[in-house]
Structure 1
Amino acid sequence: MNTKYIDLVEQTFDFPQEEFKTENNKLFWHGINLMELIEQYGSPLKFTYLPKISENINKAKGWFQESIDKHNYKGKYFYSYCTKSSHFKHILHEALKNDIHIETSSAFDIDIVNNLKKEGKIKEDTFIICNGFKRDQYIKNIGGLINSGHKNVIPIIDNFEEINLLLDETDKKINVGIRIASEEEPKFEFYTSRLGIGYKNIVAFYEREIAGNKQVDLKMLHFFINTGIKDNAYYWNELMKCLRVYINLKKVCPSLDSLNIGGGFPIKNSLAFDYDYQYMIDEIINQIQQACDEAGVDVPHIFTEFGSFTVGESGAAIYEILYQKKQNDRERWNMINSSFITTLPDAWAINKRFIMLPINKWNKQYERVLLGGLTCDSDDYYNSEQHINGIYLPVFEKENPLYIGFFNTGAYQESVGGFGGLQHCLIPHPKHLIIDRDEDGNITTKIFKEQQKSSEMLSILGYGEVVTKVNELEKIANQEVL
């Protein structure tokens, strides 16, 4: 009778998979022995596997180039990374190895861009696409970047006033884009995105504010779908509406030459994940080309802004099951040694789905469980709603610890969870590792951040003087002992 956890997985999914396999009943991820990682660094533990970032970037570049060649498409493709998905230096350094461009969303993003320029990571021909609603400091920083001589800065105009605000900051010629305020999916609580300018107003806005201004060239139309690039009627309908705007605008604006199809690709959220990236790209390129050919206008260069697709699949988190609580005849709660609210905020806030697998004990019998975090908040759990179906794990044994991993957690979780700041119920943020490979392909690891200390949180909370006094007393005590 097949009652082991490995039997359950192999009967339910196509397993092993590209990034997952087991050896001696232990899970390996991208060839990394996760139990060895736990033995060396402990748990809870978060880590980033840098090579996955470059792998996904180059996959997308390859898919787009294949479609461009297939259709003899005359425009070029530009891969951009939206930094809001993860601003960490090691993430940007890895991504920028691959001749990509950057999309920003706030004033501090420009400070990061300037830092990366000084380090030589961002080149003079790197496009800096400045998105979002722009407050005063963001406008000033964009103007400063333009004044510094960086030519490929494209502020994406979000409202009718932003052009004049930008012109107040620079005397140089500027290239701009316009963001379309797309209509949201029918299930949304509102009809139209709060960001951008409405479809019907864009051509009139160009003719009124840009056409006669020799200091400004319109280069890009920005099209963003909040739900991402999906093969459904909603996405294709919005894309065709966007193309009609592009065509009408191109006929009166010769400088317009780029279309930014923001709204990212999905990433793997279960072992049953199935998405045909090449088909979607092929169909997008085909529809753009057909629409432009029928209208007699040149096809645009294509920009994408992939955030989660770039960095999401590089991240993972590991927890230990501390205890099992049987609250009634049906429900078993496996309590982890951390908090979902602290470490995976999207899991409880928006029911974000992640791949969850045990790290060890794949040869043991399995049981259906719920997963609970350490905080006293009733929302600190992970259950079948997030996990698509019931959660099954090897049977809990108090004397034989079980470890579980959540995978493809690399996008947004640190920034949304407040990395390095206050955490719910003061449950500390785990130790964070950076995993890479050397020139010979060997795995290398280094600690990016140790587990958060009490003193760090107390300092934020205003108890800094108390912490300093305690530390001084401890030093004195240690000296007396010596």
Structure 2
Amino acid sequence: MNTKYIDLINQTFDFPQEEFKVDSKNTLHFHGIDMMEMAEKFGTPLKFTYLPKISQNIQNAKEMFSRMMKKHKYKGQYHYCYCTKSSHFKHVLDEALKNDIHIETSSAFDINIVENLKAEGKVTDNTYVLCNGFKREEYIQNIQRLINKGHKNCIPIIDNYEELNLLSDGVEYPLHVGIRIASEEEPKFEFYTSRLGIGYKNIVNFYKKEIHHNENVNLKMLHFFINTGIKDNAYYWNELNKCLKVYIDLKKICPTLDSLNIGGGFPIKNSLGFEYDYEYMIDEIINQIKEACDEAYIEVPHIFTEFGSYTVGESGGAVYKVLYQKKQNDRERWNMINSSFITTLPDSWAINKRFILLPINRWNDSYERVLLGGLTCDSDDYYNSEQHMNAIYLPTYKEEKPLYLGFFNTGAYQESIGGYGGLQHCLIPQPKHIIINKNEKGELEYKLFREKQTASDFLKILGYEN
């Protein structure tokens, strides 16, 4: 009889997979990392970042865009930008910038990070810095400072009608700008038009009125992004088609316009059954842009993307230990972890986001259906939205045989949304954080980035200690 956990996985998914394997000791390996060995060495709860995965995803995207541009004889260039708000950590930016990429920012302090990286030589004047977001005094001043220090490849993306004048007033060099399109939201969304950017119908008039005769401003880029990401559905292709019409109309009257930013939105793996044809989507995007431009007899634009989750998401993970099982009624078994989902994986609570959940050990044991609960006293601190359609199956709880769990591909947004280093709900401490890299010999190296938060850390924040 196939009653072991590993039997369940083998019957349900194509397993093992590129990044997941189980060894002879029935413990899980992730990109060659012995997860049980790491848990025993550093303790749990534990967060980790596997840096090589960042470079791997960047290179994969760059190679696919290059190949599809060659296929379609596309004469424009491709520029890969990293959306910093996905993870601002220095080790993430350092790894990403090894791959000859560019940066997209979203707020004032992002510029301070760019200046820090420039001082280290990791960002140069050739690096594009695309400044998105709603801009007010401090963000405006930081952008102006960066440009005035000679960073001519800094391109503020105009989000509203006032920003152009605010930026122009303090810039000493000709200002290169982009305009963000306020795309229409998905039909089921709570509102009709994105609050970000300028409406499709207003962009050409805005250019004619504010930029066309302004010798100090050059329009270089049109920015397009939809909240649901790059998906093969009618909504995405319809919005892209409307964007291309605006680009063509602008290009006919604006010779400096030469770039189209299609934003971010490549999905990342959220279950062992994940399927997404990246090559097909890139192929079709390139094809549609080229066809539209050829029909209008205009040059194709350089293409920019702003991949955030795709860059860093699959590099991160979290490891927990099951502390206890509570049987609340005849049907529900609650496995209580030694941390909190609300504080360490906030998207699982806030937007019901799915992550890959797998046990670290005991793959050859029998399994049971369970719910997972966190340590806070909040009834919403639980996880049950996983690849088994709202049911979680894990090796059967045994007090004498501790069970360890891994959540994978958690590297985007979770630390910043969870308030990394600050107060946590019910004062649950932030876990220890480990950075994993490979040396020149290809051997794994582990570095402690941050210790688990202490009571003293919280007391200082709260004003009880100096």
TM-score normalized with structure 1 length: 0.96
Equivalent residue for 1:384? 385
Equivalent residue for 2:128? 127
Does the 8 Å CA contact 2:356/2:387 hold for their aligned counterparts? Answer: no
Aligned partner of residue 164 in structure 1, secondary structure: helix
Instruction: Report the Cα offset of residue 2 of structure 1.
Output: 0.3
Instruction: Report the Cα offset of residue 386 of structure 1.
Output: 8.0
Letter in 2 for 1:90: H
* Structure 1 Cα separation of the partners of residues 231 and 304 of structure 2: 17
Equivalent residue for 1:203? 204
Counting aligned pairs with the same residue, the percent is 74
Instruction: Report the Cα offset of residue 172 of structure 1.
Output: 1.2
TM-score normalized with structure 2 length: 0.99
Equivalent residue for 1:270? 271
Does the 8 Å CA contact 2:117/2:123 hold for their aligned counterparts? Answer: yes
Alignment gaps of 5+ in structure 1? 466-482
Equivalent residue for 1:150? 151
Deviations 1:224-253 (A, max 9, x none): 111100000000000000000000000000
Aligned partner of residue 180 in structure 1, secondary structure: strand
* Structure 2 Cα separation of the partners of residues 227 and 26 of structure 1: 36
Does the 8 Å CA contact 1:56/1:310 hold for their aligned counterparts? Answer: yes
Does the 8 Å CA contact 1:269/1:408 hold for their aligned counterparts? Answer: yes
Equivalent residue for 1:191? 192
* Structure 1 Cα separation of the partners of residues 278 and 19 of structure 2: 18
* Structure 1 Cα separation of the partners of residues 39 and 388 of structure 2: 24
How many residues align? The count is 465
* Structure 2 Cα separation of the partners of residues 222 and 201 of structure 1: 14
Does the 8 Å CA contact 1:352/1:386 hold for their aligned counterparts? Answer: no
Aligned partner of residue 54 in structure 1, secondary structure: helix
Higher helix share: 1
> What are the within-5 Å matches in structure 2 for residues 339-350 of structure 1?
339-350=340-351
Deviations 1:428-455 (A, max 9, x none): 0000000000000000001000000111
> What are the within-5 Å matches in structure 2 for residues 36-75 of structure 1?
36-75=37-76
Letter in 2 for 1:293: D
> What are the within-5 Å matches in structure 2 for residues 239-278 of structure 1?
239-278=240-279
Deviations 1:153-176 (A, max 9, x none): 100000111110001111211100
Equivalent residue for 2:3? 3
> What are the within-5 Å matches in structure 2 for residues 243-392 of structure 1?
243-384=244-385, 388-392=389-393
Equivalent residue for 1:428? 429
Equivalent residue for 1:473? none
Aligned partner of residue 241 in structure 1, secondary structure: helix
Instruction: Report the Cα offset of residue 143 of structure 1.
Output: 0.3
| 1:397 aligned onto 2:388 | no
> What are the within-5 Å matches in structure 2 for residues 462-473 of structure 1?
462-465=463-466
Does the 8 Å CA contact 1:13/1:271 hold for their aligned counterparts? Answer: yes
* Structure 2 Cα separation of the partners of residues 39 and 324 of structure 1: 21
* Structure 1 Cα separation of the partners of residues 389 and 238 of structure 2: 28
Equivalent residue for 2:16? 16
Instruction: Report the Cα offset of residue 389 of structure 1.
Output: 3.5
Deviations 1:340-376 (A, max 9, x none): 0110000010000000000000000000000000000
Aligned partner of residue 147 in structure 2, secondary structure: helix
Does the 8 Å CA contact 1:354/1:387 hold for their aligned counterparts? Answer: no
Does the 8 Å CA contact 1:366/1:393 hold for their aligned counterparts? Answer: yes
> What are the within-5 Å matches in structure 2 for residues 58-137 of structure 1?
58-137=59-138
> What are the within-5 Å matches in structure 2 for residues 152-191 of structure 1?
152-191=153-192
* Structure 2 Cα separation of the partners of residues 33 and 105 of structure 1: 37
* Structure 2 Cα separation of the partners of residues 436 and 387 of structure 1: 32
Letter in 1 for 2:140: I
* Structure 1 Cα separation of the partners of residues 102 and 121 of structure 2: 14
Aligned partner of residue 400 in structure 1, secondary structure: coil
Deviations 1:280-305 (A, max 9, x none): 00000000000000011110000000
> What are the within-5 Å matches in structure 2 for residues 204-219 of structure 1?
204-219=205-220
> Does the C-alpha gap of structure 1 residues 109 and 61 become closer, same or farther in structure 2, counting only changes over 3 Å?
same
Letter in 2 for 1:46: K
* Structure 2 Cα separation of the partners of residues 124 and 166 of structure 1: 19
* Structure 2 Cα separation of the partners of residues 241 and 314 of structure 1: 34
Does the 8 Å CA contact 1:227/1:263 hold for their aligned counterparts? Answer: no
Letter in 2 for 1:414: E
Aligned partner of residue 260 in structure 2, secondary structure: strand
* Structure 2 Cα separation of the partners of residues 196 and 219 of structure 1: 16
* Structure 2 Cα separation of the partners of residues 299 and 187 of structure 1: 33
Instruction: Report the Cα offset of residue 37 of structure 1.
Output: 0.2
Equivalent residue for 1:472? none
* Structure 2 Cα separation of the partners of residues 39 and 460 of structure 1: 31
Does the 8 Å CA contact 1:268/1:313 hold for their aligned counterparts? Answer: yes
Instruction: Report the Cα offset of residue 464 of structure 1.
Output: 1.4
Deviations 1:4-28 (A, max 9, x none): 0000000000000000000020000
> Does the C-alpha gap of structure 1 residues 239 and 8 become closer, same or farther in structure 2, counting only changes over 3 Å?
same
Letter in 2 for 1:29: F
Deviations 1:77-108 (A, max 9, x none): 00000100000000000000000000000000
Instruction: Report the Cα offset of residue 384 of structure 1.
Output: 3.5
Letter in 2 for 1:145: L
Instruction: Report the Cα offset of residue 387 of structure 1.
Output: 6.1
* Structure 2 Cα separation of the partners of residues 170 and 201 of structure 1: 25
* Structure 1 Cα separation of the partners of residues 256 and 390 of structure 2: 51
Does the 8 Å CA contact 2:105/2:111 hold for their aligned counterparts? Answer: yes
* Structure 1 Cα separation of the partners of residues 455 and 136 of structure 2: 35
Does the 8 Å CA contact 2:45/2:321 hold for their aligned counterparts? Answer: yes
Letter in 1 for 2:262: I
Does the 8 Å CA contact 2:271/2:386 hold for their aligned counterparts? Answer: no
Letter in 1 for 2:16: P
Letter in 1 for 2:332: E
